DNA sequence: AATTAAATTTAGACAAAACTAAAAATATTT
DNA sequence: AAATATTTTTAGTTTTGTCTAAATTTAATT
């Protein structure tokens, strides 16, 4: 598997979580910042290698083998993110780019040793679950902050958007994984939400609320 | 810089330590397991990028910039080797291959954080010096065991050959970095050397002696 | 149902990095 | 110094992954 092939697999995996009946060529192109024609070429190659099933004009989906491969890449990505934050003191907005490179280092022993060294973390710095060696993912029930009713107290457990911009904005609002959030008031007109984060009042826009996972 | 270009630079660097007046096309091809014609192509490209000076048929040498680049790659390689041994409990014969991949991860912050995390090691698991951020190398005086006279007591500080085969053979003989070696007898006929390693007598072949650095 | 729009695929081209085979330059022998 | 051997370079292909432009298929509108 080349780095390019791995990047395609990973993107197809992420997209298939949202649209399980088949992933569009254009969606893949968008995520990889490439052209649809390039995607078509690659899909044929991946189908040839039996990691995706591909029917012209019908989109792709991962085979069992492709799914396992993809999860292994995700596992590597997220373990490296944990390493960078826990051991090298990186912040959660700095790790993604570097993990994009590190995820392609292929050594089972390396990644399993790293896993043990980090004490078998279940989640990465953005609250995303880390697949185990067999690709199994322990999934937690979590909801978007925007879906929670007024009055409840919940805990921030993840982000949907993990762009540096969004993460830095959360830093500014003093919201981190584990923060207690009490929903004080939801404005129906402009969808602003007044919340209490760790005993301080904050106004959050809908854009924040639809990208923050709580429990 | 692509991974391929980095691999060329690193090899040219290593070869230029042995032949400072210019590195041969064939020597590079041998180290990279490629063909001389491929090397010629790449040398032109590297010259274009001003990291090597190249005159047809005259071999190459690194420019100041190329030298710095090469040292940075070597720095990354050796720091990752230290990480694998010190933190992930890899043995010294297992780290080279993985470091060959890790050395291409390009993030100044990553490598400097790693350096600090490892407590700024001066040497890698094979006794090779680790360049600092500026490419400066603190070089130690060391000699090959084969060059030492009878009677002296010296300390193993490095290996010239760092192939897994050689390293595992040293393991078998209980020779590691730091081992005390007393030269008891040198046989001129077959060049075998009788030594005492940490109070145990061992016979070493010349092939071992010319690949072991002592101090 | 016909038309228009959007998504997808094909065809043909290109750059990077490798290869083989042949030509040219340099080194080594005789 | 001439002949031979070795090293290096050139010329022409190949593979991978990308691109643009054009053709085709599917989806959405009128
Ligand atoms: Mn990430
Ligand atoms: Mn993450
Ligand atoms: Mn090494
Ligand atoms: Mn080493």
Which bases of strand C sit closer than 7 A to a protein CB? 7-12, 16-22, 25-26
Question: In a 10 Å sphere around its CB, with 0-12 CB exposed, 13-18 middle and 19+ buried, how is residue A4 labelled?
Answer: middle
Note the Cα B28 to chain centre separation in Å.
16
Residue nearest to nucleotide C27 (CA to C1'): B57
* Contact (CB, 8 A) for A56 and A41: no
pLDDT in tens, B59-104: 999 999 999 999 999 999 999 999 999 999 999 999 999 999 999 9
pTM over 0.75? The answer is: yes
How big is the CA angle at B164 (ends B160 and B166), to the nearest 5 degrees?
50
**pLDDT computed for residue A68 by the predictor:** 98
The answer to whether the CB of B73 falls within 8 A of the CB of B6 is yes
CATH 2.30.30.90 intervals, chain B? 143-214
B91 touches chain A (CB under 8 A): no
CATH 1.10.10.10 segments of chain B: 3-62
Specify the DSSP class assigned to residue B145: G
Residues 36-55 of chain B sitting with CB below 7 angstroms of strand C: 37-38, 41-42, 45
Give residue numbers, 3 to 32 of A, with CB < 7 Å from strand C: 24-27
Question: How far is A204 from A211, CA to CA, in rounded Å?
Answer: 11
Chain B contact present for A152, CB below 8 A: no
Considering only CB atoms, which chain B residues are within 8 Å of A114? 88
Chosen CATH of A143-214 out of 3.40.50.720, 1.10.940.10, 1.10.10.10, 2.30.30.90 = 2.30.30.90
pLDDT digits (tens, 9 = 90+) for B139-185: 899 999 999 999 999 999 999 999 999 999 999 999 999 999 999 99
Q: Which residue's structure tokens are 């100044």? A: B108
Contact present, A45 and A84 (Cβ < 8 Å): no
Nearest CA in chain A to B114: A88
Q: Does domain A3-62 have CATH number 3.40.640.10?
A: no
A181-194 pLDDT tens trace: 999 999 999 999 99
**Cβ(A198)–Cβ(A179) under 8 Å?**
yes
Secondary structure element (H or E) that encloses residue A44, with its range: helix A36-48
Tokens representing B34 are 């490629």
Which residues in A lie closer than 8 A to residue B97 (C-beta atoms)?
Answer: 107
């Amino acid at each position: 598997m080349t780095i390019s092939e791995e990047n395609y697999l990973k993107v197809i995996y992420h997209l298939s979580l949202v649209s399980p009946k088949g992933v569009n060529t254009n969606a893949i192109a968008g995520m990889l910042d490439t052209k649809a024609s390039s995607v078509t070429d690659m899909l044929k190659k991946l189908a040839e290698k039996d990691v995706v099933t591909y029917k012209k004009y019908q989109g792709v989906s991962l085979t069992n083998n492709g799914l396992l491969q993809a999860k292994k890449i995700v596992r590597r990505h997220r373990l490296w993110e944990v390493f960078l934050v826990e051991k090298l003191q990186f912040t959660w907005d700095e790790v993604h780019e570097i993990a994009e490179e590190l995820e392609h280092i292929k050594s089972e022993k390396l990644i399993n040793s790293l896993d043990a060294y980090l004490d078998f973390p279940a989640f990465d710095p953005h609250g995303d679950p880390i697949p185990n060696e067999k690709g199994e993912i322990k999934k937690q029930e979590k909801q978007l902050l925007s879906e929670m009713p007024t009055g409840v107290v919940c805990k921030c457990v993840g982000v949907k958007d993990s762009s540096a911009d969004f993460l830095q904005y959360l830093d500014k609002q003093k919201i981190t994984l584990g923060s207690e959030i009490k929903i004080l008031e939801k404005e129906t007109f402009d969808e602003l939400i007044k919340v209490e984060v760790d005993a301080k009042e904050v106004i959050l826009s809908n854009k924040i609320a639809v990208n923050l996972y709580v429990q």
